[in-house]
Structure 1
Amino acid sequence: MANDPERFDSMLLAMAQQHEGGVKDLLNTIASFLARKTDFFTGAKEGEWQKVMKETFFLHAEKAMQESNRAKKEKEEAEKRLKEIQQRKEQERIAKDFEPASVTELTDQEAIDMQEDIEKDKKRKEEENGSGDASTSDVETPDAPEDDDDPKEKDKIKPNSGNGCDLEHYRWTQTLEEVELRVPLRQILRPRDLTVIINKRHLKVGIKGQPLIIDGELDADVKIEESTWVLQDGRNLLVNLEKVNKMNWWSRLVKTDPEISTKKINPEPSKLSDLDGETRGLVEKMMYDQRQKEMGLPTSDEQKKQDVLKKFMEQHPEMDFSKCKFN
């Protein structure tokens, strides 16, 4: 207990909250106390107090720098591991998307049997409907009740498997963090043959000398410095857009696209499960702090300090905390 550097934290934090001028005012108070109530400045030989101050402050400054560098390194390593996991999964998705379909040829007898099964099934449906005209029974209606529940969803498209939309000239998918755009080019090109301009709220994609494939206002803002594009195998353009608002789903890539129903989005399970315990804890803390900042609430570290102060105030009801600032 005697060597516990945190045993006076509650008291010092309470003192610090009452010094509106910050650290300078707090140090001034401590120095004033030493000058008025002790012989710290006058009791030892000349230059001794300067030596003590220098050694003490430099010792703790070095510890603080080491701790800051350690935390920074851990954060960078965690982000690097998370990025590697995302890149690996991305490569797996790409390989799956462009895997050639397998075709199995039927024998003559298998083709005959299949055709007979189709005819039997068709005849059975006609008998169940009591009419030879099966046109009305072929109309699909399962999704109608959902559309009737919310008129605003009536003309919206169901999201694809990646929570985005498959369009004529491109396909886009999304997570809460980013949007991924795939554009098949149908010819072998080089990066310099392409036009890709990513602005905060506008995207242009196309082949130089030809009409742009995409030229429109994005559904929401993106982080330009963290958004990238790459040409794969000379035939497929992949664009990654980092969302600014990581709490909302996009209903379309650009304003001219048809809207998808965000109510029917099926989020993927969290990728944090792929991380080791220590890294996962660090990433979860970062995500929690980010959400708290976006909502104007205290981060985990700030909340911890507030809890310490609250406990100290409860233990010392006789003290005046009216001038304390807890933000």
Structure 2
Amino acid sequence: MTLLVKKQARERDREVVERSSNSLEASGMADKLAPEKRHSFTHNDQKVFEWDQTLEELNIYINLPENVPKKLFYCTIKSKHLEVGIKGNPPYLSHDLSNHVKTDCSFWTLEDDIMHVTLQKRDKGQTWPSPIMGQGQLDPYATDIEQKRLMLQRFQEENPGFDFSQAQFSGNCPDPKTFMGGIRST
């Protein structure tokens, strides 16, 4: 019985190593298809936050004020609402999100003087025009560029042996979420 358990553990470890090496090969391509720059949301000529997105996540980066203890910052993530602030003060952000997120997979961290909020998209592949509903929408050209980049990420994920880093779309790009029957589950 013990020998069988050890054999199963070795096989499981071997599978993990194989998946890890395949992920490392694909990660080089993924880096090439990662967002090149963050989008910036400003209000009254002040940067409120920066953001970027991948097929599965939307990331928000908020510069933190100096001289405030890190333990006073908070972030509440709900399915379609985000609230960020300093305890004991009115929230810095309290807005509905453009789309739904998976709250159990979304999280926030403090990195140096930046709050990094990672929102797991409920609908993988959906191109978000902005994190906040009705605020700071990307213009049509920037939306098209995002959609093309996400479509290439989708192709790369579905075909890890191919290099899509130099691929380009001519004309309008289809929606990466729904193109050819939608995104395959992994």
Say whether the fold is shared (TM-score over 0.5). Answer: yes
1:182 pairs with 2:61: yes
Aligned equivalents of 2:154, 2:76: Cα separation in 1: 30
Aligned equivalents of 1:67, 1:166: Cα separation in 2: 49
Matches within 5 A, 1:287-326: 295=181
Q: 2:114 aligns with which of 212, 236, 245?
A: 236
Residues 65 and 192 (structure 1 numbering): CA distance in 2 closer, same or farther, change over 3 Å?
same
Q: Which runs of 5+ in 2 are unaligned?
A: 162-176
Residue of structure 2 equivalent to 1:258: 136
Aligned equivalents of 2:184, 2:154: Cα separation in 1: 26
1:247 pairs with 2:125: yes
RCO higher in structure (CA 8 A, sep ≥6): 2
Residue of structure 1 equivalent to 2:41: 166
Matches within 5 A, 1:1-327: 69=12, 73-74=16-17, 77=20, 81=24, 161-162=37-38, 164-167=39-42, 168=46, 169-233=48-112, 235-265=113-143, 266-267=145-146, 268=149, 270=153, 280-281=160-161, 295=181
Q: TM-score, normalised by structure 2?
A: 0.59
Considering only aligned residues, what root-mean-square deviation do their CA atoms show, in Å? Answer: 4.6
Residues 166 and 297 (structure 1 numbering): CA distance in 2 closer, same or farther, change over 3 Å?
closer
2:20 match: secondary structure: helix
Structure with more strand by fraction: 2
Q: TM-score, normalised by structure 1?
A: 0.36
Residues 258 and 297 (structure 1 numbering): CA distance in 2 closer, same or farther, change over 3 Å?
closer
User: Percent identity among equivalent residues?
Assistant: 21
Q: CA deviation at 1:79?
A: 8.7
Contact 2:98/2:128 (<8 A) preserved: yes
Structure with more helix by fraction: 1
Residues 256 and 297 (structure 1 numbering): CA distance in 2 closer, same or farther, change over 3 Å?
closer
How many pairs does the alignment contain?
Answer: 152
Aligned equivalents of 1:78, 1:223: Cα separation in 2: 28
Aligned equivalents of 1:242, 1:197: Cα separation in 2: 14
In our comparison, the structure showing a higher alpha carbon Rg is 1
Contact 1:251/1:262 (<8 A) preserved: no
- Structure 1 range deviating more: 256-265 or 219-228: 256-265
Contact 1:227/1:240 (<8 A) preserved: yes
Q: Which runs of 5+ in 1 are unaligned?
A: 1-57, 94-159, 274-279, 282-290, 301-327
Counterpart AA for 2:16: K
Aligned equivalents of 2:128, 2:137: Cα separation in 1: 9
1:170 match: secondary structure: strand
Residues 212 and 263 (structure 1 numbering): CA distance in 2 closer, same or farther, change over 3 Å?
same
Residue of structure 1 equivalent to 2:168: none
